[in-house]
Chain A
């Protein structure tokens, strides 16, 4: 098992290598002179030259790559062009809201979707099942920003239950304000996940319900609720966990929109700002970070399989 973890971690090295190379080339393959783009419309030739040498763009491509690679390996993702702050510092400042939003979203989605999907499968074809499936289709189809403004209109402006925008840290402002502010973003971002996970849960649970060992459990006189939790859900866990893992990739896209709608100072906003201002070092740093997180999550998912299914051993 630990040998497997080590091998998988080693295997991330070439993957990250490809990521780093692609990220490097993005900057160099941008049409036109990136220095000119960065310098803006009113820059003089001297300004552009200064930016060129600051970015190291006047040196050979290979040398540029190696220099940059050495920096990245030391944990130095470069310096933001506009704020002149190290990219790592900027990321660290923005990490907390995004991590917590991701956490509340995943928790909320799993807590809602798994029971919902299971119930739908248990009473397949019934009214509840059809409602869940209808919601699921709707959840997929409504764009995050539409849903976001809809929820704000309803809960913040109409019912005046929750704040419209903003973020409060649970560490400095307390848990209550944090939850009140994170509720709508979580609901917005979570809807598509609930739809996705509920669908997968329903399909998998329906398959497992037809398996012989479920009949055995009933033949023992086991209560239906315990049959579902102990026998059915554990057997359905692997595909469900897979979808949750894949969903994290979706989350990255969703975070950008959600944080903009609710004005949350997180990584998503950082991405947006950096893209709008063409702050290449930040974009590079964030892509590398997101890729690495994604690879790690996949490893964790693979390891979680072994918790649910003893037949999976590495």
Chain B
């Protein structure tokens, strides 16, 4: 075993690290001349947007780069030993023992066909000579330390039987069981709900302090940075643009990119908004959805995904629906646009009522209510040009092709895209551009109601701010009723006039955004607000743009 001499201040030292991309990539190097250190007992956050090279940095440290990416210069020193110069077998002995990693997606990062106990135990099988009984005891102890309930029973559970938070706890137990000197965490809370995220961040913080672990924490979220970091490394286009202590970076950022990133994080204090007094465009009355799984002998499982939701959205008003996964907010959206058939209740759009149980869906609903989805990579047909996707809707409603095309061109100008984009395919655009195209597609039908279902959640913060601004602008321009579904309270605070808080299929609180944020009445709303990462730091320098 390599025992680190006490004189080593840094557990991890990265010096002038450069990683080459395969040929034909859009740039030569994934990361270039990256240098930073992580000391024992310190959490260093590497922050950046997609393509900044933060994940490549983490994977280079672990020696887990995908084929094609090659470190060509620099050093990665773990407890003084240069990992890049070590043979593969030695790296393998270090992984899991002296350095460990946790990942973004706790569902897919665990092997679905092995019990979680066996997967934690595997680390001990690889690196220790403990016998089966000793290993088991260590695993149970590790599971207890990450506060997993009833570890003896949970040992035999499979990943799909656990919640997202529990799975991430299993990952953490697995990573820390041999008390590695370095923990690399790649966006470990990004896929989790806010309340779960707060718990996992607290757990990492707590364990790291207790064991004196050095943590390299990769994130795109400045809220999380504010919550957990001791020091921050900011990366852009594969280079480190700024690094320093967390207070320094958050309150006195020097590099314009850092300033832009911090300014783009929406604040948690909603701006003053005058109430909207126009007539309602969308009225939802007692909308419910029950999912039933039928077995051979009657109903096996019954889930009330949506329980009698009632509310209205006025022309020119933005109503936010916030809640965690499983709260029923997406079911609500899908029931309104009738991608799902509601079990009971009705939806009224511009004076027309659409009740539950009518088999044939009125085409007026299809035209008047449009939806923009979360993932701009998957919601455009990859084999059709952008133009074909945009004009398809209007042409279905009898608009001649020439007119539809003219409308598409003017819409592209409104969403600030070049009208010549019409002949190109979705893969030729970035995520933010695609989301603009999705908005243009939705607007092409001249809807009265626009539903944005987590429409900015998959985007980088800087792009997110622009798309939010665009949504606000088109809402005013076309006098739309905007139903904005999000799990992100900061985003909701920025754009919404009023807010509905959902939990387990039920609307538990409703009111003007400012009021809900300032004086939340329901305990769940309070819990959500408390869990928002980085709430101690005032963000939101740029959010006035949408005010």
Q: How far is the CA of A221 from the CA of B62 in the complex (A)?
A: 10
Please tell me if A74 contacts chain B, counting CB pairs below 8 Å.
no
Please tell me if B222 contacts chain A, counting CB pairs below 8 Å.
no
Residue in A211, A218, A311 whose beta carbon sits within 8 Å of that of B108 in the complex: A211
Chain A residues whose CB sits within 8 angstroms of the CB of B64 once the complex forms: 215, 218-219
Query: A77 to chain B: closest CB distance in Å?
Result: 34
Q: Size class of B's contact patch?
A: 20 to 34
Residue in A212, A221, A231, A235 whose beta carbon sits within 8 Å of that of B95 in the complex: A221
Chain A residues whose CB sits within 8 angstroms of the CB of B111 once the complex forms: 213, 216-217, 231, 234-235
The answer to whether A311 and B158 touch across the interface, beta carbons within 8 angstroms, is: yes
* Closest chain B residue, CB of each to CB of A212: B108
* Closest chain B residue, CB of each to CB of A211: B108
Please tell me if B105 contacts chain A, counting CB pairs below 8 Å.
yes
The answer to whether A220 and B123 touch across the interface, beta carbons within 8 angstroms, is: yes
The answer to whether B94 and A215 touch across the interface, beta carbons within 8 angstroms, is: no
The answer to whether A221 and B103 touch across the interface, beta carbons within 8 angstroms, is: no
Q: How far is the CA of A234 from the CA of B113 in the complex (A)?
A: 7
Q: How far is the CA of A235 from the CA of B119 in the complex (A)?
A: 14
Please tell me if A54 contacts chain B, counting CB pairs below 8 Å.
no
Chain B residues whose CB sits within 8 angstroms of the CB of A310 once the complex forms: 112-113, 115, 158, 160
Query: B112 to chain A: closest CB distance in Å?
Result: 6
Q: How far is the CA of A213 from the CA of B113 in the complex (A)?
A: 11
The answer to whether A219 and B101 touch across the interface, beta carbons within 8 angstroms, is: yes
Chain A residues whose CB sits within 8 angstroms of the CB of B127 once the complex forms: 221
The answer to whether B103 and A216 touch across the interface, beta carbons within 8 angstroms, is: yes
Residue in A217, A219, A222, A308 whose beta carbon sits within 8 Å of that of B113 in the complex: A308
Please tell me if B109 contacts chain A, counting CB pairs below 8 Å.
yes
Chain B residues whose CB sits within 8 angstroms of the CB of A234 once the complex forms: 111, 113-114
Residue in B95, B112, B158, B296 whose beta carbon sits within 8 Å of that of A219 in the complex: B95
Chain B residues whose CB sits within 8 angstroms of the CB of A223 once the complex forms: 92, 126
Please tell me if A47 contacts chain B, counting CB pairs below 8 Å.
no
Chain B residues whose CB sits within 8 angstroms of the CB of A230 once the complex forms: 114, 122
Please tell me if A309 contacts chain B, counting CB pairs below 8 Å.
yes
Chain B residues whose CB sits within 8 angstroms of the CB of A213 once the complex forms: 108-112
Q: How far is the CA of A211 from the CA of B95 in the complex (A)?
A: 19
The answer to whether B174 and A220 touch across the interface, beta carbons within 8 angstroms, is: yes
Residue of A7, A219, A222 with most chain B CB atoms under a 10 A cut-off: A219
Residue in B105, B115, B126 whose beta carbon sits within 8 Å of that of A220 in the complex: B126
Chain A residues whose CB sits within 8 angstroms of the CB of B169 once the complex forms: none
Query: A160 to chain B: closest CB distance in Å?
Result: 47
Secondary structure call for the A interface: helix
Chain B residues whose CB sits within 8 angstroms of the CB of A309 once the complex forms: 112-113
Please tell me if B522 contacts chain A, counting CB pairs below 8 Å.
no
Please tell me if B93 contacts chain A, counting CB pairs below 8 Å.
yes
Q: How far is the CA of A217 from the CA of B125 in the complex (A)?
A: 12
Q: How far is the CA of A19 from the CA of B76 in the complex (A)?
A: 68
Residue in B110, B112, B126, B158 whose beta carbon sits within 8 Å of that of A221 in the complex: B126
Chain A residues whose CB sits within 8 angstroms of the CB of B126 once the complex forms: 220-223
The answer to whether A212 and B105 touch across the interface, beta carbons within 8 angstroms, is: yes
Chain A residues whose CB sits within 8 angstroms of the CB of B174 once the complex forms: 216, 220
The answer to whether B97 and A221 touch across the interface, beta carbons within 8 angstroms, is: yes
Chain A, 35-58, contact with B by CB distance < 8 Å: what is the 0/1 string?
000000000000000000000000
Please tell me if B96 contacts chain A, counting CB pairs below 8 Å.
yes
Number of chain A residues whose Cβ lies closer than 8 Å to a Cβ of chain B: 21
Chain B residues whose CB sits within 8 angstroms of the CB of A211 once the complex forms: 108
Q: How far is the CA of A216 from the CA of B188 in the complex (A)?
A: 13
Please tell me if B507 contacts chain A, counting CB pairs below 8 Å.
no
Q: How far is the CA of A216 from the CA of B59 in the complex (A)?
A: 12
Chain B, 179-218, contact with A by CB distance < 8 Å: what is the 0/1 string?
0000000000000000000000000000000000000000
Please tell me if B100 contacts chain A, counting CB pairs below 8 Å.
yes
Chain B residues whose CB sits within 8 angstroms of the CB of A220 once the complex forms: 95-96, 100, 122-123, 126, 174
The answer to whether B109 and A216 touch across the interface, beta carbons within 8 angstroms, is: yes
Chain A residues whose CB sits within 8 angstroms of the CB of B95 once the complex forms: 218-221
The answer to whether B112 and A215 touch across the interface, beta carbons within 8 angstroms, is: no
Chain A residues whose CB sits within 8 angstroms of the CB of B94 once the complex forms: 221
The answer to whether A219 and B62 touch across the interface, beta carbons within 8 angstroms, is: yes
Q: How far is the CA of A200 from the CA of B158 in the complex (A)?
A: 26
Chain B residues whose CB sits within 8 angstroms of the CB of A221 once the complex forms: 92-97, 123, 126-127
Query: A121 to chain B: closest CB distance in Å?
Result: 13
The answer to whether B113 and A235 touch across the interface, beta carbons within 8 angstroms, is: yes
Chain B residues whose CB sits within 8 angstroms of the CB of A219 once the complex forms: 62, 64, 95-96, 100-101
Chain B residues whose CB sits within 8 angstroms of the CB of A308 once the complex forms: 113
Query: A227 to chain B: closest CB distance in Å?
Result: 10
Q: How far is the CA of A207 from the CA of B96 in the complex (A)?
A: 25
The answer to whether A212 and B96 touch across the interface, beta carbons within 8 angstroms, is: no
Q: How far is the CA of A235 from the CA of B114 in the complex (A)?
A: 10
Residue of A7, A215, A223, A309 with most chain B CB atoms under a 10 A cut-off: A215
A residues 211-247 near B (Cβ < 8 Å) are: 211-213, 215-223, 230-231, 234-235
Q: How far is the CA of A211 from the CA of B114 in the complex (A)?
A: 15
Residue of B94, B105, B114 with most chain A CB atoms under a 10 A cut-off: B114
Chain A residues whose CB sits within 8 angstroms of the CB of B160 once the complex forms: 310-311
Q: A219-B62, A219-B95, A221-B96 are in contact. Are A212 and B103 (CB under 8 A)?
A: yes
A residues 181-228 near B (Cβ < 8 Å) are: 211-213, 215-223
Chain A residues in the interface with B (C-beta under 8 A): 7, 211-213, 215-223, 230-231, 234-235, 308-311
Q: List 16 A-B contacts (CB under 8 A).
A: A211-B108, A215-B64, A216-B111, A217-B111, A219-B62, A220-B95, A221-B96, A221-B123, A222-B92, A222-B126, A230-B114, A235-B111, A235-B112, A309-B113, A311-B112, A311-B113
Known A211-B108, A220-B174, A311-B158; further 5 A-B contacts with Cβ < 8 A: A217-B111, A217-B122, A219-B62, A221-B92, A231-B114
